[in-house]
Amino acid sequence: MKLHEYQAKEVLSGYGIPVPEGRVTYFPDDAWMVAMELGLPVVLKAQVLTGGRGKAGGVKLARTPDEVKEVAKDLFGKKLVTKQTGPEGVIIRKLLVEKAADIGRELYFSITIDRTTSKPTVVASKRGGMSIEEVAEKYPEDIIKIPIDPVTGLLPYQIRRLKYDLELVDQEKEAAKVFNALYKVFVEKDCTLVELNPLVVTKSGHLLAVDAKMDVDDDALFRRKEISKMRDLTESDPSELEAKIAGLNFVRLSGNIGCMVNGAGLAMTTMDVIKLAGGEPANFLDVGGAATPETIAKGFEIITRDPSVKAMFINIFGGIVRCDKVANGIIQALKKVEVNMPVVVRLTGNNKEEGMETLKKSGMRFYVAENLKEAAKMVSELSRETEADINKSKQQKKDKEEK
Ligand code: GDP
Ligand code: MN
């Protein structure tokens, strides 16, 4: 889970890491008032869960009261398109208003998990401000990587090395305090990333975390309630959220075939086989090992709500949960949720025959496939046909209107 900059700074500040004075705001007037309280100049920073805001125009300096008003009015509600968002961008709904920092030098300092060494690793550079990818490309020799043994934590010699390489001779004590505190945050909040870019040396010679990014391991949120309650629901897909609450694993994709599968491995295979058959999955939905009428109904609800879905594929392996139970679940769910599209079912595993029999006896219309390959082919063709039919009737309607 990604935290907003203002939330990350709140956490860091609690650990004694110096951050600029400021407050998050939700309205232009509010931003103006906070700016007046802080004193000018201020920076207004878009709080969106993406990097590269500065270059995209989401971080602005304001020196006069009028400038604050103008910038705030301009930024609130604006669509910010950064390198990471794609063309759809994100809407700015919150602005962090901060006292502008007197920047002397900009450093880069982060801690993340290095997958090759399986250790928390400090990545730092005296060239902060620009993206670390850019530093890596232009000045690879200026990037320091220090793996940390989780048993010992960050050691004094590693801190000395960092201070030396980052040229922090005059900030000896402060630097050690910031580095240690940041490592503590990383461990105690179960982070997968904490990043200060830039970590600034002010003109008066003090360290200040001017930007902060924090990513917390989703699998640790159950024991980090103070973090999970910070989740920004306005930036999540509502269907993905609803699925999560219902205990389903749902990811929206760009195609037109809705998929309901039990087990993540089978779900991934299903995506692959659909693609091979020339189809495009509209989602990844794992109803879990125990597919019950309730989870199946919820799955139908979530999938059929998506207007781009033109056909559905139910691919269930009866292991712990037997096929006849799943078939009953599907029938019960279809009584509750209206589904106006072709549904292809493929069941295999325990009590497969009974399951198929149950589907047949229900009197409802399913396309039943014998095996996975055939099912994928069937649903891909059906999705194309339905799509074509819809386009045709739209065109006919349009022609009629024009006449
Ligand atoms: P990002 O682009 O999303 O990483 O946002 P940042 O918070 O890192 O801001 C981008 C750049 O704006 C920084 O690298 C700084 O150069 C500049 N900036 C941000 N805050 C201040 C500030 O308080 N004072 C000054 N002078 N520059 C700032
Ligand atoms: Mn930054």
Instruction: Say whether pLDDT at 7 is over 80.
Output: yes
With contact defined as beta carbons under 8 Å apart, do 99 and 42 qualify?
yes
With contact defined as beta carbons under 8 Å apart, do 142 and 127 qualify?
yes
* Residue whose pair of structure tokens reads 């159950």 in the numeric block: 222
Stronger pLDDT, 174 or 294, i.e. the higher one: 174
Q: How far apart are CA 155 and CA 166, in angstroms?
A: 17
With contact defined as beta carbons under 8 Å apart, do 348 and 327 qualify?
no
Q: How far apart are CA 155 and CA 112, in angstroms?
A: 17
In the chain, count of helices (H) and strands (E)? 13, 19
Q: Which fold has domain 21-100?
A: Dna Ligase; domain 1 (3.30.1490)
Ligand whose nearest atom lies closest to the CA of 127: 1
Stronger pLDDT, 328 or 288, i.e. the higher one: 328
Q: Name the active-site residue from 195, 240, 367, 385.
A: 195
Mean of the per-residue pLDDT values of the chain: 93
Q: How far apart are CA 171 and CA 207, in angstroms?
A: 8
Q: Which two tokens stand for residue 291?
A: 């597919």
Whether 21-100 and 1-19+102-235 are alike in CATH topology: the answer is no
Average pLDDT over residues 20-26: 98
Instruction: Say whether pLDDT at 278 is over 80.
Output: yes
Ligand whose nearest atom lies closest to the CA of 42: 1
For the segment 370-383, what is each residue's pLDDT rounded down to a tens digit? 899 999 999 999 99
Q: ω into residue 198 within 30 of 0, thus cis?
A: yes
Average pLDDT over residues 141-152: 96
pTM of the model: 0.79
Query: Is residue 57 in contact with ligand 1, taking CB distance under 6 Å?
Result: no
Instruction: Say whether pLDDT at 156 is over 80.
Output: yes
Query: Is residue 51 in contact with ligand 1, taking CB distance under 6 Å?
Result: yes
Q: Please state which CATH class domain 238-395 belongs to.
A: alpha beta
Q: How far apart are CA 171 and CA 254, in angstroms?
A: 50
For the segment 93-116, what is each residue's pLDDT rounded down to a tens digit? 999 999 999 999 999 999 999 999
Domain boundaries, the chain: 1-19+102-235, 21-100, 238-395
CA-proximal residue: ligand 1, atom 7 (nearest): 211
- Distance, CA 229 to ligand 1 centroid (Å)? 27
CA-proximal residue: ligand 1, atom 25 (nearest): 101
Q: Name the active-site residue from 106, 108, 183, 301.
A: 108
Query: Is residue 106 in contact with ligand 1, taking CB distance under 6 Å?
Result: yes
The CATH superfamily holding the domain 1-19+102-235 is ATP-grasp fold, B domain (3.30.470.20)
- Give the pLDDT of residue 288: 80
Confidence of residue 290 (pLDDT cuts 50, 70, 90): low
With contact defined as beta carbons under 8 Å apart, do 176 and 164 qualify?
no
Is 195 assigned a catalytic role?
yes
* Residue whose pair of structure tokens reads 């497969």 in the numeric block: 352
